[in-house]
Amino acid sequence: GAILAAVLFREAFVQGSGQDTRQYLLATVLAMSWLGGSNSVREIVQERDVFRREMAVGVSATAFVVSRWIVLSVATAVQAIVLHLVASSRQQNPIGQGALLRAGQIELVLALIGVGVVSVGIGLLISALVTDTPRALTLLPLVIIPTLLLSGLVVPTSGRTGVQELTYLNPVQWGSSAAAVSVDIRTAENCNLSGNTNALVNATCSNGRWERTAATQGLNFFMIVFWSVAMLALASWCTGWTMSRPLKRS
């Protein structure tokens, strides 16, 4: 359902102009954030009883969480591939060479997969911290919305003291930056033209994390991997902590 909604939203655009490129990125990053988070946000909280039994026979929290993370990450990666293939079917200007890879399309898909996998970790972390499924589902959009706002695709974050530094701690931001570099958003929004008075475009041109270089893109992908592992480690630790606490009895 989430993929279908994202595809239908994408069908309103034919990528070519800078505005359409930004809208495409915003739609796909939002879709992958939601897909990754929704795939995993119920996984731990609804399996508490199962895990307590497994824990009693020696199964560790890390093994429990990692096994689910692997399966969910693979499923999310498949969703990212299908989403991009269908959502970009009306593209007028196909992506050429990427900043790191010869095939820019593959680089973009890897960036979207990164957004989804990081979001899987975020969903698992939420699931480990709450006590029931309704609370997990309530918290998910409250986490996704700020991460999307701090991605730089909705409002400018570059050059804003405090806000720019905060984006470094936003796992989704690194994935969206990798996607923006893959489609060369700075060129799409005419950063090479002088006299542009559009504030959003000027913010795009001054965003160093969207610079189309191998070093910038390498950092983006490195941080995607770093935050994916960090979210997985936090989810594993929180799962072990919450599961080892005694059950509250009414």
Q: Which amino acid is at 148?
A: L
**CA–CA dist 232, 226 (Å, integer):** 10
Distance of CA 116 to the CA centre of its chain: 5
Distance of CA 186 to the CA centre of its chain: 20
pLDDT, tens digit, for every residue of 135-169?
999 999 999 999 988 888 887 777 677 787 888 89
Closest CA to 100 of 40, 182, 14: 182
- Residue 201 — pLDDT band, cuts 50, 70, 90? low
- Residue 23 — pLDDT band, cuts 50, 70, 90? confident
213: pLDDT strictly greater than 80 = yes
**CA–CA dist 90, 234 (Å, integer):** 40
Q: What is the mean pLDDT of residues 45-70?
A: 83
- As given in the structure block, the two tokens for residue 53 are 């039994």
221: pLDDT strictly greater than 90 = yes
Cβ atoms of 210 and 177 within 8 Å: the answer is yes
Q: What percentage of the chain carries pLDDT values higher than 90?
A: 37
What per-residue confidence (pLDDT) applies to 1? 47
pLDDT, tens digit, for every residue of 60-82?
888 889 999 999 999 999 999 98
Higher-confidence residue: 123 or 98?
123
16: pLDDT strictly greater than 60 = no
Q: pTM of this prediction?
A: 0.85
Q: Which amino acid is at 184?
A: D
Which range is most confident: 112-121, 166-175, 180-189?
112-121
- Among 6-10, 70-74, 154-158, 226-230, the least confident range: 6-10
**CA–CA dist 121, 114 (Å, integer):** 11
What per-residue confidence (pLDDT) applies to 22? 80
State the burial class of residue 15 (Cβ atoms within 10 Å of its Cβ: 0-12, 13-18, 19+): buried
**CA–CA dist 177, 174 (Å, integer):** 5
Q: Is 90 helix (H, G, I), strand (E, B) or coil?
A: coil
**Longest CA span, the chain:** 68
Cβ atoms of 213 and 99 within 8 Å: the answer is yes
Question: Looking at the chain, which runs of residues are DSSP E strands?
Answer: none
SS (H, E, C) 84-116: HHHHCCCCCCCCCCCCCCCCHHHHHHHHHHHHH
116: pLDDT strictly greater than 70 = yes
**CA–CA dist 52, 149 (Å, integer):** 37
Distance of CA 27 to the CA centre of its chain: 12
Which range is most confident: 106-110, 190-194, 195-199?
106-110
